[in-house]
Structure 1
Amino acid sequence: METLLNEWLWQEEYWLPPGITWQDIEMKEDEGHFPVPRDLIYTLPLAFAFIAFRYVFERIIAIPLSRHLGVKDRVRIRAASVPKLETFYEQNSRQPSQNEVVSLGKKCGLSQKKIQTWFRHRRNQDRPSNTKKFCEASWRFVFYLVAFTAGLGSLIDTSWFWDHRECWRGYPKQPVAEVHRWYYILEMGFYLSLLLCVSVDVKRKDFKEQVIHHIATIFLIGFSYCSNYVRVGTLVMLLHDSSDILLESAKMLHYAEWTRTCDSLFVVFALVFLVTRLVVFPGRVVHTTLVVSLEFFQPFFGYYFFNALLLVLQALHIFWAYLILRMVYKFMFMGKVERDERSDEESEVDEAEEESEEDRDECSWEQRKGAINSKLASLANNCVLNNLKNQRNINSRLPKAR
């Protein structure tokens, strides 16, 4: 297996610039540590460790914090127990077609409207609670905050943090510091844990884009480490973490219904995101990998593959920037951020219909109460009029009696 990998996967033309061999980049112990693929073997057990730590964190810290901040879960109408409908919901579809609704109505002896209402209530029953979404956001917030702080502290004194040409000086024979090696391993392990948990996390409208983002990020981190693009890779991770901190903190405040603070923080996040992802990332990072790097070596497969992954990330940045600008537009012209453009994938119509159904019930009760009140008032008026009429008749008889 090792021979096969060496002959096929680890060919020098894939990972190294033309004219450079693996022997040329070997380092002695006093020269430092050269990044090798076996360093990334720690990321898989680390991903499972992140999942276990997240489970403990959500129950010991996140849930009590959500209660302290006033996060409230919506009380939803529970669907009635109908075994045939439950079986269809679990095994076939959560949104049956019109023909399926007719067929289910015949089997269960229910009207089509009741069948549709049952499925709407059942779908809303499975929607994630605000507490679950708060826990997810708080976990990511803590990691991004720690990763950004540690990454900035380890990079601020490096030469390539201020001069991007230093990313390529001496490439590919560049030793990697121990702190940057673990920075890579922790980031890759975290994104791997997110990919493993994607099926149980809150499913949003941009679910596919999120999966593509996680996969592209994992490939980008892994490939950049094996190709010794560590200096550029650390800058990419630091840029992403800077705006993600603000995004997750804004989500936490949104679920806690701290509206003013959330809206203000969202504006700050939008500015940071647009500057870092649409200006700094393409203008500095992508430019240095596409253009500046060619001053130090000739292009090879790793050069094209690494830049292709960066461009995939940039395409996702443009997509998310479009969603953010839509929310900024609503904030400016409507006074508040109405709804997260990346809200849950579950149909928003379901919840809107449930709310309208509650409103209709309330309105019908108000109408019935108004009708009862009007009848009572009419009855009271009739009683008063009758009393007055009787009083006048009595008064008219008094002179005759005298």
Structure 2
Amino acid sequence: MNTAIRINIAINKALTRSLTEYLKSLNIRNIFVETGRTSTLNNGTGLFGLRPKTPLAYDPVEIVSIFVHQSLEDDLMAGVFHTLDLKTPGRGTIQSSDITIIKAHPSFQICSQLQIPQQIPASFFTDLRAIACVVQRGEGDAVARVSLKAGASVPVTTYGIGGGVRDKLGLLRITIPPEKEVIDLVMSKYDIDSVMEMFISEAKLDAPGRGIAYIHPIRKGTVNTRISRKRAEQAANMEQMISAIDSIVGGVEWRKTRLEQENTRMRTFLTDLVELILVCSDGFGKKLSKIAMENGASGATICKTRYIYTSEEDYDRNPPRRDISKMIVSPSAVPKITQAIEEAGGFEDEAQALLYSHPVLKAYTYRAKEVKRI
């Protein structure tokens, strides 16, 4: 096992090419791109000054993930921040997380030596957390709207297919579609618990088969404060003023709201968990996820990602389309799952799997002592 830093950059789709070309110029390999959308409150006016028909507005977004040694974290993040002008609200965000590479196909490499030009230091927040909420397809907007109305930050929604809990519900599974939406939100750690409570209530996660929400740590990064499409009527809009105050005070603690003072229900959360992420060649995700679930994983959400080529040699030996399976498991289950995937050929040339994990601070989902099959 090796420790590394995963850097996630969520940017408007129109900027993806500029970002990947910049990363290629630094000779970074193993670039993965996942497609999704951001949601903002549609508070502007529509045609002829009429109120817009939909409460949310959407923008296509792509989440670019790279894996580097910790020594490269600061300079690389600063380079991306300045190259893409991420200080401007709405252009995108960048965050880093600690991960553990459990096992990988030999083609996967953690970047440890790069020729990165001297960078102007960039200021990143360190008091952040990330929350992910997996819900049924079509219910993501309600969850996204909760975070926007709370003024947390702009959520990113991606899509996948779920498995595990649904398969254990007998005939009840007919009423639960396998298609899932994954809402990811990076925000101040001071209000994260209150927003998670909102997610649980809005998505009805205390009912069987409804989904899961979990919180994981962020090392450092930025947040997207452009939560509304409302046209600015002053010299500076609200998002620009918030960003300016963030820079002055050097953090986001000042944004702490009364959310944390609101009463929350007494819930039993799951702790001492990790998110186990499996990236593999297209078509292998379902098979390898099933093997993982047979060896300790309670469920999985399988999404699509793609591999960005950095050379002709890369193109010949690496398939562009990939599956990415996300599972919440106990750390004690990881060795057995890893061994089972290895025995199934997951790390050989055809599947080309990458298996890594990062800590989960707490999670919530429906739990029952026994679910009877009908």
TM-score range, shorter chain: under 0.3
TM-score under structure 2 normalisation?
0.22
TM-score under structure 1 normalisation?
0.21
Greater CA radius of gyration, 1 or 2?
1
